[in-house]
Amino acid sequence: MRLSLRLAATLSCSVLAFAALQAVPAQAQTASLPERVIVNLTETPSTSLAFNWRAEAGAGDGFIEYAILTPGPAYPAKAVRLPAQRTSAAFTTRDEQNVAADYYSVRLTGLTPDTQYVYRVGKEGAWSPWRQVKTAAAEVRPFTFLYMGDVQNDIRSMGGLAVRRALRQTPDAAFMLFAGDLINRADNDAEWGEWFDMDAHRLAETPSLMTPGNHEYMKPQGSTPQMLAPQWRLQFTLPENGPSDMLTETVYRVDYQGVRIISLDADMIDEDPQAARDQVAWLERQLADNPSRWTVVFLHYPLYSTARGRSGEELRAVLQPLFDRYHVDLVLAGHDHTYGRGRPHDQGPVYMVSNVGPKQYPLGDLNWTERKASGVQVFQQVEVSAARLTMRAFTMDGAPYDAFQLDKPGAGPARLTDLKPATPELILRREDQ
């Protein structure tokens, strides 16, 4: 088709103008962008938040800019810039040579409770997108959090698919709680990259809490004691209110809108007698002097196991007396790659084992569960208000699988109401999955 000279000239000018616009972007990116951006809860979540990210080795200083969210695009002009703590790390893992990066950590303090903030991280020429995050309320208010067991295997594809489903189905989640075995090989940096790639934007906007599993620990050449993956403390900034330096950022507590949340390092209880004693003594102090009505403990190993050939008896002997004495309400675990929920002897906490990843184990002979499953990927929504806690479990297709309610009008043990659906338990073989 022939074009008139006037039309051809007009099109040529338009193309040149468009090319000129494309050649001069609003903000040129001249260095590697921040990656593995994550926000963690602190011990004071109504007035502070913690942020981590990393960049290529030699990236230099990094910063965070933050402001209260505005109705329109005024927030960049109001942003405060703060420097981050930078750690340059280089190490060789069992699977990889010369893993090197600059890691950044920053805690924002003095924030306003129950407030939406925007933030970005990086530096001139290499900023992350602006993202939103919200502080907790200073008083008791209803909220919902997500609890997920082991992701561990096929992280970017199958494990991440279930995590993304959980986040889509819980768009108002106040935070996510991961019960260990985030990855499979403790120091494998590619696997850590997959974990952060599961849902990079939500990990940067929905705060997380995590406790280490046995797959976050390694024993180089069979050495003792075991070592926590070097990436753990480089990539996360978790509360440092635990019992000892050895357990920093693996054993801690957070008080969130009427709930005391306690992370225990189950692998160190199992592997190190001194670490076990330190945790038990510290745990009793946290339970005895507890301002919150609700208490949730999460750890990797279950006190009551669900997988074939496992028990949890040794952990029960150490921890259950304290859980019973101080009326702990909910104990959340992973490790067994199955699902189970029950209240043994009809008293004490409700114990749960869950598994959001694709790795599956056969069920053991269970006499303590009210609901169980194998061969399924499951996530849990936990809704909390002043006097009621409701847990709902879903399979990764979004179908309701289990539910219960705890009512606690005052001090003492909670009253349990079973709300599980009248559907068969899912005990799937591999070919049925």
Query: pLDDT tens digits, residue range 257-290?
Result: 999 999 999 999 999 999 999 999 999 999 999 9
d(CA 348, CA 322): 10
Helices 273-288 & 313-325, crossing angle to 10 degrees? 20
Q: Residue 387: its pLDDT value, please?
A: 98
d(CA 167, CA 202): 8
Which band of pLDDT confidence, cut at 50, 70 and 90, is reported for residue 185? very high
**For residue 114, is it left (φ>0), alpha (ψ between -120 and 50) or beta?**
left
Residue 361 pLDDT more than 80? yes
Note the pTM of the prediction, 2 decimals.
0.91
Which band of pLDDT confidence, cut at 50, 70 and 90, is reported for residue 223? low
Mean pLDDT of 309-324: 91
Q: Residue 31: its pLDDT value, please?
A: 55
Sorted by where each starts, the structural domains of the chain and their CATH numbers stand as: 35-134 (2.60.40.380), 143-432 (3.60.21.10)
d(CA 129, CA 76): 12
Q: Residue 104: its pLDDT value, please?
A: 99
Burial of 215 (0-12, 13-18, 19+ CB in 10 A): buried
- Answer whether 103's CB lies under 8 Å from 234's CB: yes
Mean pLDDT of 162-188: 97
pLDDT digits (tens, 9 = 90+) for 372-431: 999 999 999 999 999 999 999 999 999 999 999 999 998 889 999 999 999 999 998 654
| Amino acid type, 187 | D
**For residue 99, is it left (φ>0), alpha (ψ between -120 and 50) or beta?**
beta
d(CA 338, CA 335): 8
**What contacts 17, CB < 8 A, 6 or more positions away?**
none
**For residue 346, is it left (φ>0), alpha (ψ between -120 and 50) or beta?**
left
Q: Residue 32: its pLDDT value, please?
A: 85
